[in-house]
A and B are shown apart, each in its own frame.
Chain A
Amino acid sequence: MSAPGVIAITGLGSFLGRALMERLLLRSPTVRVVGIGRRRPFRLDSRVRFHRVDLTDPAADGRVAEVFFRERVEAVVHTAFRSEPTADIEADHELETIGSLYVLNACEAAKVKRLVVVSSTMLYGARPDNPNFLSEFHPLRGHPDAHSIQNRVEAESLIANWSLRNPDTEVTVLRNGWIFGPTYRDHIVRYFALPVVPKLMGYDPLMQCVHEDDCVHALETATLYPHPGVFNVVGRGVFPLSTMLRLAGKRILSLPPPLLYRMAYYPSQGQTGDPPQGFYDYLRYLWVADGQRGWDAFGEPIYTSREAWMAFVTSRRMRRYR
Chain B
Amino acid sequence: MSETNAPNTNPIDDVAVRQALDGLRREIRLRFPSTPDVSPAPPERAVLPPASSERIDWMELFDTVRRRVSALGMSERSGEVDEFGMDEVVLRQARPLLDLLHDRYWRIELHDSGRVPSGASLLVANRSGLLPYDGLMLSHALARANRERDRPRFLVADWLNTLPFVQPYLARLGGVRACRENAERLLSSGRAVIAFPEGQKGAAKVFRERYRLQRFGRGGVVRVALESGVPLVPVGIVGPEEAHPILFKWGTPARMVGLPFLPVTPTFPLLGPLGSLPLPTKWVIRVGDPIDLEDLAPDAATDELLISRLTEELRARVQQLVDAALADRSSVWD
Contacts and interface: CB of A to CB of B under 8 A. Distances in A.
A233 to B, nearest CB: 18
Given A133-B185, A251-B66, A243 B161 contact: no
A203 B179 contact: no
Interface in B46-95: 62, 66, 74-75, 77, 79-81, 83-85
A131 interface: yes
B273 interface: no
B23 interface: no
A238 B180 CA distance: 20
Chain A, interface residues (CB within 8 Å), range = 20 to 34
Contact of B181 (A133, A205, A239): A133
Interface stretch (B123-131, B164-172, B197-205, B232-240): B164-172
Interface in A213-269: 237-240, 242-243, 246-247, 251, 256-257
A128 B161 contact: yes
B182 interface: yes
Contact of A206 (B80, B164, B171, B185): B171
A239 B182 contact: no
A135 B185 CA distance: 12
Contact of A132 (B79, B83, B159, B167): B83
Given A128-B161, A131-B179, A203-B167, A247 B83 contact: no
A94 B149 CA distance: 56
Interface residues of B, number: 28
Contacts of A128: 158-159, 161-162, 177
Contacts of B161: 128-129, 285-286
A202 interface: yes
Given A206-B171, A239-B79, A246-B79, A132 B165 contact: no
Contacts of A3: none
B182 A132 contact: yes
B21 to A, nearest CB: 27
16 contacts: A128-B161, A128-B177, A129-B179, A131-B179, A131-B181, A132-B85, A132-B181, A133-B83, A201-B164, A203-B168, A204-B167, A238-B81, A239-B81, A240-B168, A251-B66, A285-B161
Interface of A: 128-129, 131-133, 135, 200-206, 237-240, 242-243, 246-247, 251, 256-257, 285-286
